[in-house]
Structure 1
Amino acid sequence: MKRLLILLLSVWSISTQASPALPGDIIADLNALQSQLQEGSLSGVVEHANAQAERLASGNQSDQWASALYQQLAAGALARQDQPAAAADRLAIARGLSGVDDDQATKWLREEASLRRAAGQRDQAIELLSEWLTLQQDSSAMWQLTRLLAQQARWEEAANWLGQALNEENALTEAQQALTLAIYRNAGQSDQALNWLLDGLDAQSDLSDWRQAAGLAQQAGQPGVAAGLWEMAWQLDKLTEQEDRWLLIQLHLSGGTPARAAEHLEQALATGDIVRDESNLRLLANTWQQAKDVEKALSAWQALAVHTQAAADWRAYGQLAYAWGESERAQRAFSQASELGDEEAAQWLTSFN
């Protein structure tokens, strides 16, 4: 607000060069009123500026230009009194007077937008900033407009302006990064968000950035990309928690790389990081089977059957071995299942006679 006050205080004297000439008494009165404003005589400035603005508003172009300047001074006083909405109304009136040239009207348009924003009149601020940006190129204004649209949950419009704002920026602040991600997510543009995140990912990126990228890849229906991102984060030692390992395994399974999932699971079992129980052994067997690695899948199924000593597991091991042409293994597995009372396995054994 302080920067805006400085602008409101200084515009009129500079702009007289390109605008209709003003009578000497009006110039003197404007100067005196501006001095009162700088000294803090706010109520007096508003009252006198109002009276002069209304008196001159219906006159010729010079009068209307003077009226606009009085409105501008009233806006400055009202802004200092923490009345941004009333100050914005004054600038709106000033912009509409015929004695105001286009350059000055454009400046006041931008200042009115800032006042509307300060007053919480976001929709009006959005309209004004949008209009101003059709006349001027300004990166900070684009970001302001983008944030206002996001605050109003106008996500698609925010995403459109965000694209333009990103084209103007080389490095984003943390706030801009957070805003970018929020807009793309809420606008349903997971692909865009993912591409944006991928561009900025490197070995120095925080774990939160890797997590966000992997999550967005899942949302965008790209489980393979999600698995690749999580794998890279693992290799970079970004991930240390047990739940991170489990998520890595699940991502590889859903992402079409079951062999890599099985390798992680096997390594964790070997080091004791994961308990060697029935559930985990069964997952390992199914994962190697999904990966179609004959030797490792059969070995995993055999280890599961040995652990559980369940007839159904020996039979499943035998059926898989038979399907893959491993007759000797299949026969031994069916024999073990039959000894445990599995009638179906006994029937399978007849095919070897």
Structure 2
Amino acid sequence: MIALPVAAQQYRSQVQEVPTEEAEKTTREDLEQQLEQGGGSDYGRALTLQHLAGLAAEEGDLAKARGYLERAIALEALAQPATDEMRANLAQLQAAAGQYREVVETMQPLIDRGADAGAVDAQAWLALGNAHAQLGQWDQAVAPLERASQVGSRDEGLYRLQLAVFMEAGRFDAAAGALDELVKLAPDNKAYWLQLAAVNTRRGADAEAVSALEIAQRRGMLDTASERLQLVRAYLESGAPYDAATRLSDWMASGRIPTSAANWRLLASAWTRAEEFARAIDPLRRAAEATGDPQLYAQLGQLQMDLANWPAATEAFERARAAGDIGADTGSLLLSQGLAYYQQSKADLARGAFESARRYDAVADLAGQWVEFLDARPPGLEPLAMQGLAGAGKASSPTTTSGEGEADSDVAATDGPDDTGAAPMPAGVPDTGDELTPVGAVRAGNADGSIPTWRGGLTPDRAPPGYESGGRVVDPFAEETPEFVITRDNLDQYRDLLSAGHRALFERYPDYRMPVYPTHRTAAYPEAIYRATLANQRRARLEDPDSLVGARLGFPFREPETGVEVLWNHRLRFRSNDIWVRSDEAVVRDDGIANVQRRVEEVLFGYGNLSAPAGIGENIIAYYLMSLDDNGRRKGSVLVHETMNKRRGERRIWASVPGAMRLFRVPPIGYDNPRPSTDGLMYLDQIDMYNGSFDRYVWRLVGRKEMIVPYNGYRLQDPDLSYQSLLQPGHPDPGEMRYERHRVWVVEATERGGENHEFGTRIFYIDEDSWSILMVDNYDKAGNLWRFQEGHAVQYYDLQLTYTGPVFIFDLKDGRYFATRLTNEAPGVFYNTGRYQPGDFRPAALRQRMR
């Protein structure tokens, strides 16, 4: 409670019926006698009582003063301003007597009437706020205390009371404002600076918290270890872990913060969050040794793995197991230990650790995959060192590197005459000197003109009206109507132009149809991709199906001779420098009920990156991160480092389990492992139509073929098209689809002897103009058509690339289908964002984002 001084002068009316001198000569007894005689009006009696209150206050009889004011107010004879003044005075007298409920009752009419803050003295508002606080009515105390400061009360007592009330009421922004005033009034009061930092942390203003503590530090006020640790933690909360680590390290070295196990652990965390992983090793080791905590040894092992210190990692994991039980984390530890042994080529120890991990439900599936991988691994194929994989320092910036040998001679000799009879190359497209486009498609159209000559594709200068840079692509063919529609009735007329998957959809669904539109060869790429593709003809080759060498930037095989070479062109097709995608996907049951969920994908390309072209011999194709999105929160993530040469370094995969704040290493396999959250309808190697290894199939290049394929499907990305309308039972709404006649490469993949995959045979149909897989027929081991993939190609004319989306996977046995890359009701796909560096895709960086 704040003591309120009472001065008699405050209670004298400014309106008197007699001159002041005469009033002052009148004694209190005279006035009381006049009241007893009952003469005069209520107005006069109210003034007399007001005057008596002033006299009583002068004499120190505050109880009498309260009584006189109560009687005067009850008469309701004075004007509103005078009555408000009396209520304000009475409230202060009641506050001085500790009559807090009476204070509230006295001031309530002003509150009910919404009286202006300036209607009464600031001390009255202060008395009301204090009364509410004394009664524990924190929310009601806020408004009168704010009014008190508005009308001129600026003393330290007011702001201290405001601080207490605002904190109790959960008004942390207002509490920070009160503390700002307190540090101005009393800048040498350390408690105010520490409180200001704490309140700013509480309200999420981490930078302001650091600022307050730094000022206190410069003033020499942080003179205890706990206060210094408050600054260290503020640095961490504000996203400045390097500052936190260096400050904590210096203070521990100088003895100003004790070298306890807890502080070693805090220092290790700070260095780790700063991505100074090597510096985190020693403090984490000290913390583990000081406590014998098996969890700390497990963390030390994981950190050593991040640095690819495999022997040190296995030692730390052994000490963790020897130190005691770590409960539910035992399976994760065994899984990590197995990987550390595997990286040291200790296959038997690795298998033992993985077999032990299989006993723990949380990691049983992953451990089982590792055992299967070790059993299937070709002899002599040893794991390679992965130094710097998780980062031995801060994230590096993208750099432009030159390749080896011919890296600077990507411009092929193309000055020869064009004697093919095809149309001349448009501006920006190098003349190839043959009948093919720069990426290897046949330039000429077909005999009946249903496939036109390629004339450069759909480029930025040919963007349709209405397109705005950076926005969604606009359908350039929105006004077109189908040339014909294929139905079950006329199917035989077009059967030879259709995939087995499309024919099966006609057989299963009587209402299925395919609207076929005029063909537009829209595929186009940047000039750098064309020239690099021409140069790759002289140097790209396969050491084995999964090991490509000599390719840079463009398509590796302009004139493929094998099925694997065609699939490599798909894998390395230009897809921009980086991608951020927020799309949707849905499992659609045979009754049409669709389970839609959100998905976020982030990709930084190493190969085909025009801003930072990788040199020949660099092994990263792309860094890929996919997360299922639950209202802005990650519900599980997969991180992939996709490599180009398996002999020099295999694909590396990490996964997070929903609810667990850590990553698990996954074997470098995909194959027919079901992709999570697809209800078993998609295997991992079906992502991006096909992204798997090539070792389980024999790949036969059948040749080129004219077919009716999904193409220029802009309508399927229209935000006005709802999922409810599109995703119908059995198949999407055929009226929204667009099919055209194009030439495709046909590749047949048959299961290699001794290998195993749920799909015995797969037939791929790859667009000749873009090398995008448009369709896949997938057969079971008995030779029955099982699942059909259909990717709807769209030319992003603003970026000069072709991408498939949406993609549908039909289960022709049970009637369900899976739709992915849906963007109608989602933000969509954003290319060339410039937001990523390779360090952003390190496992440690993902762990930071999972916090």
- State the TM-score, normalized to the length of structure 2: 0.32
Partner of 2:86: 111
- Is 1:268 matched with 2:251? yes
Deviation, structure 1 residue 129 = 5.5
Deviation, structure 1 residue 295 = 2.8
Amino acid corresponding to residue 35 of structure 1 in structure 2: K
- Is 1:348 matched with 2:340? yes
Partner of 1:13: 18
- Is 1:323 matched with 2:326? no
Matches within 5 A, 1:182-221: 182-198=164-180, 201=183, 204-221=187-204
Deviation, structure 1 residue 261 = 2.6
Partner of 1:46: 32
Partner of 1:142: 122
Q: Which stretches in structure 2 are left out of the alignment for 5+ residues?
A: 1-5, 323-332, 346-851
Deviation, structure 1 residue 6 = 7.1
Higher RCO (Cα < 8 Å, 6 or more apart): 2
Residue 160 (structure 1) aligned to one of 143, 159, 169 = 143
Amino acid corresponding to residue 172 of structure 1 in structure 2: R
Amino acid corresponding to residue 303 of structure 2 in structure 1: L
Instruction: Give the distance between the partners of 2:285 and 2:277, measured in 1 at CA.
Output: 12
Report SS of the residue matched to 1:172.
Answer: coil
1:11–1:285 distance in 2 versus 1, CA, 3 Å = same
1:8–1:241 distance in 2 versus 1, CA, 3 Å = same
Partner of 2:314: 334
Deviation, structure 1 residue 148 = 1.7
Deviation, structure 1 residue 309 = 9.9
- Is 1:84 matched with 2:65? yes
Deviation, structure 1 residue 214 = 1.7
1:245–1:12 distance in 2 versus 1, CA, 3 Å = same
RMSD: 4.4
- State the TM-score, normalized to the length of structure 1: 0.68
Partner of 1:178: 160
Deviation, structure 1 residue 210 = 0.7
Partner of 1:230: 213
1:331–1:308 distance in 2 versus 1, CA, 3 Å = farther
Aligned residue pairs: how many? 315
Paired residues of 1:223 and 1:254 also in contact (CA < 8 A)? yes
Q: Which has the larger radius of gyration?
A: 2
Between the aligned residues of both structures, percent identity stands at 19
Residue 8 (structure 2) aligned to one of 3, 7, 14 = 3
Deviation, structure 1 residue 238 = 1.8
1:71–1:94 distance in 2 versus 1, CA, 3 Å = farther
1:238–1:52 distance in 2 versus 1, CA, 3 Å = same
Paired residues of 2:245 and 2:271 also in contact (CA < 8 A)? yes
Partner of 1:252: 235
Instruction: Give the distance between the partners of 2:289 and 2:54, measured in 1 at CA.
Output: 86
Instruction: Give the distance between the partners of 1:201 and 1:235, measured in 2 at CA.
Output: 15
Amino acid corresponding to residue 8 of structure 2 in structure 1: R
Instruction: Give the distance between the partners of 1:336 and 1:73, measured in 2 at CA.
Output: 86
Report SS of the residue matched to 1:12.
Answer: coil
Partner of 2:224: 241
Larger proportion of helix: 1
Deviates more, 1:272-281 or 1:175-184: 272-281
1:204–1:142 distance in 2 versus 1, CA, 3 Å = closer
The superposition leaves residues 180-201 of structure 1 with CA deviations (integer Å, 9 ceiling, x where unpaired) of 2223223321112213434664
Deviation, structure 1 residue 339 = 10
Paired residues of 1:314 and 1:333 also in contact (CA < 8 A)? no
Paired residues of 2:193 and 2:213 also in contact (CA < 8 A)? yes
Partner of 2:104: 123
Instruction: Give the distance between the partners of 2:234 and 2:171, measured in 1 at CA.
Output: 21
1:9–1:284 distance in 2 versus 1, CA, 3 Å = closer
Report SS of the residue matched to 2:170.
Answer: coil
Amino acid corresponding to residue 334 of structure 1 in structure 2: T
Paired residues of 2:314 and 2:341 also in contact (CA < 8 A)? yes
